[in-house]
Chains A and B, each alone.
Chain A
Amino acid sequence: MAYAILDVREWDTVVRMDTGEPLPMNSPKVNTPMLDMARQVIKGHPYPGDFSSKSIEWVTDTALRLWKTYDPHFMFMIYAQPGILGGVKYMTPDRWNSLVCRVFQNVNRFIEITGYIPIIVGLGDMVPLKEYIDLSGLDGIGYIRMPNRRYAGFYNPTDRDISRFDRMPGIERTVSKCDFINLFEPSDVFRERLPDYLIVAKEGYSFKTLGTSSRTGYKTIAKNEAIPVYTGLPNTEINSLVDLKDTVIKNINHQRIALILLDGIGTKDFPGEYRLCNNSLYWYTYCQGDDSYFAVSCGEHFQHSDYPPGWLDFTEDFEMKTYPYDGFIEKPLSGSIGNYLRTKMGITSAAAGSRSTFTHLSGGADICIECCCCGLYNYGTKAVIYKTQAS
């Protein structure tokens, strides 16, 4: 059973993750050593907000606190600020460089203090936004599932819509459901949820349609066919982002490893040495949404998940949807790296990240600390505890 502590500074509540039901504060389930420890960590490290200059340091400070108090064998970290702020805030090149520099300073600070062997993954560059592709005027319904703005699902298309796709300059390709299934052979649930068409934007373009944020965009995710990876592990072969999980599993018995994901940073900004790792499958390039995070964590390409890009996720947000605090996800990822290490290898893990629910969903660690932000609004800090008994 997984629990979450939802912390809004001086007030908090504990909920069951599967039902969302709050637990009474005198419940024995609320007063376990693991939950007490998680509570102490978030009390000391409330998330300062996506726009705060301290949000990068927050990831490192929180991870350091987890290291001191829990001392996990595996640490999973996400620095999301370059991807988040790069998208919605105008930055001069100097400010952008300074932001990237601070991210790496903080990564290094964590590594130097703790001695974890790092695997640092830049999830991909961002490029200036050229133009929006507005789907609102078509006959059918376009939908994107944030933050993935390069792939839109399209439902109920008319013949007129299909001919108009061809004339939209920002569209790279349109793929029918059948063509997608034939090429990618997705899982049954993924197949069921696929939109009638998947529309792919060219690099520099971003969709505007049902479900998109009304904030002004400045940059968007590049078409990153390869992404940079640095690892301190010797003799490792990482050819694709789906190889990262195996790399951790093969090496974790010999050393403590920190898998560190950097949103919005690709080869253009990654300092020092790195190797290139494939970030695509056929024509699909990963976009730093759930596609990237789940592929890294589960070691499987996106079509083996249950969540296709452009899926009208809100249609399944029923009253009794399970895991209500996990957004569109209705169950934890059984293949996540943290879950694998815990259940198959008995290895302890922790996670700290500023990409909200993706931190615990992809990390799957014994204890995960993340921000509770939606639309860049700071609703609090969350600790998700998958392993409720300390060992």
Chain B
Amino acid sequence: MICNYCEWRCDLGNGKPGICQMYMEKDNRIVEKYPNYYTTYHATHIESLPFFHAYPGSRTLQIGSRGCNFDCHYCSNAYVAKSLPGEVYTFNMTPQRIVDVAKQTGCHNIVFSVNEPTVSFPSFLEIAEEARISEFPIGCMTNGYMTQESTDILSSVCEFINISLKGFSQEFYRKYTGIPDFKPILRNIEKLALTNHIEITTPIIQDINDDKIIEIAKFIASIDRNIPWHVFRLLPEYKMEDKDYPSIQEINKKLEDARGILPYIYFSNFIGSVWVSTHCPSCGQKIIERFNLGGCGGKMVKYSLLEDKKCPYCGAQIEIHGEYTQWNSRDESYGIRNPGC
């Protein structure tokens, strides 16, 4: 019995666990071992995930489960992504409850992140359906190593997707993530870019994948040069925790050439980054200002686009998915602020 959620296409017959260990065969079907179990749920800025060009300013209910189909040697979330059942506490929450929490916390959308959504795909799809009924846009962050069948489904339920393109060579992917072939990821990026709002994230491990910065930028530009690219300075953990701290200056120097290829390159995952704001590709003016307060993306502090998403300085059209959303626009309607006694 083959699991067709990701490109590993594991045979789960005879009780075999598969790579992610999150599915099993039951009554001739592939089912989740831990449906509707989540390690976290939290209200946060959409820019912190990061999504910089989708629903700017909005409040996101971030959810995640446990497990992963990769084994990235440098993983920062290994305590969740590589944990075994029982090692990490999980919440059992129905899709209705998750949407209800999103409402009660004044969120505007829901994003599955923290770990790979295809390892909890049926649960994620149930949330997406419940969110659709309540008109919550859904997004996710994925490593992109899903089958074409899963990609089609993901494309149909998600409005916005951040895909992690962790490197740009078979050698890197084989050695540091454990997958045999990264071409399905490129295929899925190309496909999703046609149907969904996508952003791409690349964690840079100095001296290991920083030589591919230009190649990755060219690949993204070949699809659509308006795709935002988030480059993370990564402090390797898990199996690579002894690696030296990376150099911001040296990575940024390599990004300088890439900035001539893509207009929306962001460099973060360290406090105070000055490369997290959006500049108009036409006139160069800062049009969305963000700070990095420590964390993957940033916090938006000023949104200057006109209502039709044009640059207020030169009138150029800026690629933004969804509307600018005020952070607390839903608090009152859901009764969060309760001054009474």
Contact = CB atoms under 8 A, between A and B. Distances in A.
B247 interface: yes
Contacts of A380: 270-272, 294
Interface size class of B (residues with CB under 8 A): 35 or more
A51 B45 CA distance: 27
A214 interface: yes
Interface string B255-291: 0000000000000011110100000000000000001
A237 interface: no
Interface stretch (A94-102, A131-139, A252-260, A292-300): A131-139
A15 B93 CA distance: 41
A216 B294 contact: no
A10 B341 contact: no
Given A22-B274, A214-B88, A324-B299, A315 B328 contact: yes
Contact of A11 (B248, B291, B293, B302): B248
A357 B299 CA distance: 17
Contact of B92 (A137, A212, A215, A382): A137
A210 interface: yes
B41 A6 contact: no
Interface string B219-251: 000000000000001010000010001011100
A47 to B, nearest CB: 11
Interface string B307-341: 00000000000000000000110010001111111
Contacts of B41: 136, 210
A163 B341 CA distance: 20
B270 A319 contact: no
Given A10-B248, A137-B97, A374-B294, A214 B79 contact: yes
Given A137-B92, A141-B105, A208-B91, A155 B270 contact: no
A282 interface: no
Contact of A9 (B248, B293, B303, B338): B248
A51 B235 CA distance: 13
Contacts of B338: 155-156, 196
B42 interface: yes
Interface string A185-217: 000000110101000000000001011111111
Interface of A: 6, 8-13, 15, 20, 22, 46, 49, 51, 132, 134, 136-137, 140-141, 155-156, 177-178, 181, 191-192, 194, 196, 208, 210-217, 312, 314-320, 324-325, 372-374, 377-380, 382
Interface of B: 39-45, 57, 59, 64, 76, 79-80, 83, 87-89, 91-93, 97, 101, 104-106, 114, 233, 235, 241, 245, 247-249, 252, 269-272, 274, 291, 293-295, 299-303, 327-328, 331, 335-341
Given A13-B274, A20-B293, A377-B294, 11 more contacts: A8-B248, A10-B248, A11-B247, A15-B272, A211-B42, A214-B80, A214-B89, A318-B328, A372-B271, A372-B294, A380-B272
